[in-house]
Amino acid sequence: MIYLLHSGSELIEEAINNCKYKDKIVLINPTLNSKILRGIRKAHNMTNLRTKKIWVDYLLKKQQVDNSKLDTVIVFDTPLWIDNIEYIRERFSNAKIIFWFWNIIKDKTKINKIKMNCNSIFIFDENEAKKYQIKYHPQFHWITKTSDDKIKNDIFFVGRNKGRLFILENFYEKCMQEKLTVKYHVVKDKKNDFSEVVNLKSQSMVYEEVIEEVKQSKCILDINQEGQAGLTLRALEALFLKKKLMTNNKDIANYDFYRENNIQFLDENNICIDKEFISSKFQDVDNEIIEKYTVDHWLETLIYSE
| Domains of the chain by residue range | 2-136, 153-287
pLDDT given for residue 50 in this prediction = 58
Architecture of domain 2-136: 3-Layer(aba) Sandwich (3.40)
Confidence band, pLDDT 50/70/90 cuts, at residue 271:
confident
pLDDT given for residue 138 in this prediction = 94
Give the 3-state DSSP-derived string for the chain, with helices as H, strands as E and coil as C.
Answer: CEEEECCCCHHHHHHHHCCCCHHHEEEECCCCCCHHHHHHHHHHHCCCCHHHHHHHHHHHHHCCCCCCCCCEEEEECCHHHHHCHHHHHHHCCCCEEEEEECCCCCCHHHHHHHHHHCCEEEECCHHHHHHHCCEECCCCECCCCCCCCCCCEEEEEEEECCCCHHHHHHHHHHHHHCCCCEEEEEECCCCCCCCCCCCCECCCCCHHHHHHHHHCEEEEEECCCCCCCCCCHHHHHHHHCCCEEEECCHHHHHCCCCCCCCEEECCCCCCCCCHHHHHCCCCCCCHHHHHHHEHHHHHHHHHCCC
Long-range pairs, 237-241, Cβ under 8 A, ≥24: 237/141, 237/143, 237/210, 237/211, 238/214, 238/262, 238/263, 239/141, 239/285, 239/290, 239/293, 240/141, 240/142, 240/143, 240/144, 240/290, 240/293, 241/143, 241/146, 241/147, 241/211, 241/214, 241/215
pTM of the model: 0.86
CB 33 within 8 A of CB 109: no
Q: What is the mean pLDDT of residues 258-285?
A: 91
List pLDDT tens digits, range 129-176. 999 999 999 999 987 665 566 899 999 999 998 888 898 999 999 999
Q: How high does pLDDT run on average in the chain?
A: 88
Q: What is the mean pLDDT of residues 87-92?
A: 92
What percent of the chain shows pLDDT beyond 90?
A: 62
The domain 153-287 is classified under which CATH number: 3.30.70, 1.20.120, 1.10.8, 3.40.50?
3.40.50
Q: What is the mean pLDDT of residues 204-217?
A: 92
Residue 228 scores a pLDDT above 80 = no
The C-alpha atoms of residue 121 and residue 114 are separated, in whole angstroms, by 8
pLDDT given for residue 32 in this prediction = 63
Confidence band, pLDDT 50/70/90 cuts, at residue 270:
confident
pLDDT given for residue 186 in this prediction = 92
List pLDDT tens digits, range 281-303. 999 999 999 999 999 999 999 99
Confidence band, pLDDT 50/70/90 cuts, at residue 11:
confident
What percent of the chain shows pLDDT beyond 70?
A: 91
Residue 268 scores a pLDDT above 80 = no
List pLDDT tens digits, range 38-72. 666 566 566 665 566 777 887 888 777 777 777 89
Do 153-287 and 2-136 fall under one CATH topology? yes
pLDDT given for residue 95 in this prediction = 92
- CA torsion angle 87 92 95 99 (round to 10): -40
pLDDT given for residue 191 in this prediction = 87
Handedness of CA 38, 141, 300, 120 (dihedral sign): negative
Confidence band, pLDDT 50/70/90 cuts, at residue 96:
very high
Report the chain's terminal Cα–Cα distance, integer Å: 18
pLDDT given for residue 53 in this prediction = 79
Residue 27 dihedral angles phi and psi, to the nearest 5°: -85, 130
